[in-house]
Amino acid sequence: MNAPKPSNSPPASLPLATLLNHAADAVQAVRAGRSLNAALAACPAAARPGAQALSFHALRWLGAAQALRSQLAPKAPAPAVDALLLTALALLWPAAESRYTEHTLVDQAVDAARQRARQSAAFVNAVLRRFLRERDALVEAALRDPVARYNHPRWWIDRLKGDWPEQWQAILEANNAHPPMTLRVNARRSTALAYVAQLAEAGMLAQVAGPQAVTLAEPCPVTQLPGFAAGDVSVQDAAAQRAAPLLIGAGLPPGARVLDACAAPGGKTAHLLELAELDVLALDSDALRLQRVHETLARLGLQARSVAADAGDPKAWWDGRPFDAILLDAPCSAAGIVRRHPDVRWLRRATDIDTLAQTQSRLLAALWPLLRPGGRLLYCTCSVFKAEGQDRIDAFLQRQADAKLAANPPSPGHLLPLPDNGSEHSPLLQQAPGDGFYYALLEKT
């Protein structure tokens, strides 16, 4: 799910009122249960960058905005008007560092209301101006609600408290920060250090963040990256770049049979093939998402076999030959990458975690028999919840007598989206927060 960080500043070519309406459409869609990506895909291309920046901002501060709106208008207005109000209130929240003046925001939000639901313009104007008049008292009252204070659902906050009693507040705060745009340099073509120099020649500042990782000082469209179209570089967070080296570091020989069990969109598949000559089968249950794997590999000049199938049902796709290594990047809550996908926290429900944990356990049990003795399986999730990480592996190891944690290389375990996101076994080259992940490298005895 990694994506370039959107610009913080919507382009000036469209009126702010227009962009506010498109952003409100996206917020309304998320509150109705649709993903932000799907909502933005329906936005006109000219407005999409601006709408994306505003909707990302609104969703990062949605808890605060909802608490304010509940005080200002206890009876919720129609969803379309409510979404616009929430977007405007999120931009007006004192700590949100909006680039617009208060007068401009209110004026343009009222214009947006006239376009959206003309009869609501006076109501929107009254609510926003009352907020500005009574801001200190309203904000103080809102901050008594943890959902408003941390901008996450209450169940999410409570689960983090239980899992990470010392770090939960830092994790929540990190989730609302803008993520860095991190690149993976194709090891077949260059090095991280050489690519930093290449970026410098193009007037772009960056620094090395890992063996193949480069973090940009400012995000940019991928079309501006030197050599992107030729396959020199890809977008992938530094934490996600740990998967391929962990699996290959286990000592895979050239031509080893490797299964990438949940391969889409293909970043980890490609990284494996950049690092070694492997016979990779890329598997994914979604044929449309699997097409993205094909596109990624084609741009990088790499090849892998692919099958659209459920990894948990091997009889439907497995040829009976054991694999030397398996990468199981299991479906999860995505609780470690909410900086990049701020809608996730509002789309997930508390009951989803147990459902996902059952899926993760099912996949582990189904794929383990496909691994040869002495082979390695790397289990990973982009989640900070222990139910999707350490708890899953602890339960699996208790049930599976022929499984153990590999000693070399050792497993990083849980990586949190904090400046010390490294582990004692795999420290960071720079102290910059990466995404939240969990990694466990298992060996079959």
Give the tens place of pLDDT for each residue, 396-441: 999 999 999 999 999 999 999 998 765 555 554 455 678 999 999 9
Which of these three, 151, 169, 199, is where a domain ends? 151
What is the chain's percent helix, strand, coil content, to nearest 5?
Answer: 45, 15, 40
In a domain, 311, yes or no: yes
Does residue 203 sit in the same domain as residue 67?
Answer: no
pLDDT tens-digit readout, 238-256 = 999 999 999 998 679 999 9
pLDDT tens-digit readout, 200-223 = 999 999 999 989 999 999 999 999
If we measure between CA atoms, which residue out of 295, 259, 341, 312 comes closest to residue 37?
341
Range(s) of the domain holding residue 206: 182-235
In a domain, 3, yes or no: no
Q: Is the model's pLDDT at 330 over the cut of 90?
A: yes
- pTM, to two decimals: 0.93
Does residue 231 sit in the same domain as residue 245?
Answer: no
Q: Let me know: does 58 contact 91? Beta carbons within 8 Å.
A: yes
What's the CATH number where 194 sits? Answer: 3.30.70.1170
Of 43, 262, 380, 382, which is the active-site residue?
382
| Average pLDDT along the chain | 93
Q: What is the DSSP string of 195-217?
A: HHHHHHHTT--EEE-SSSEEEES
- How many structural domains compose the chain? 3
- What is the CB neighbour count within 10 angstroms for residue 97? 9
Does residue 196 sit in the same domain as residue 263?
Answer: no
What's the CATH number where 20 sits? Answer: 1.10.940.10
Does residue 33 sit in the same domain as residue 80?
Answer: yes
Does residue 224 sit in the same domain as residue 250?
Answer: no
Q: Tokens 């940009």 — which residue?
A: 216
Does residue 190 sit in the same domain as residue 208?
Answer: yes
What is the 3-class SS of 36-78, one letter each residue?
Answer: HHHHHHCCCCCCHHHHHHHHHHHHHCHHHHHHHHHHHCCCCCC
In a domain, 157, yes or no: no
Does residue 194 sit in the same domain as residue 313?
Answer: no
State the average pLDDT over residues 275-298.
96
Q: What is the pLDDT of residue 423?
A: 54
382 belongs to the catalytic site: yes
The β-bridge partners of 206 are 216
Listed in order, strand segments (DSSP E) in 63-204 are 182-185
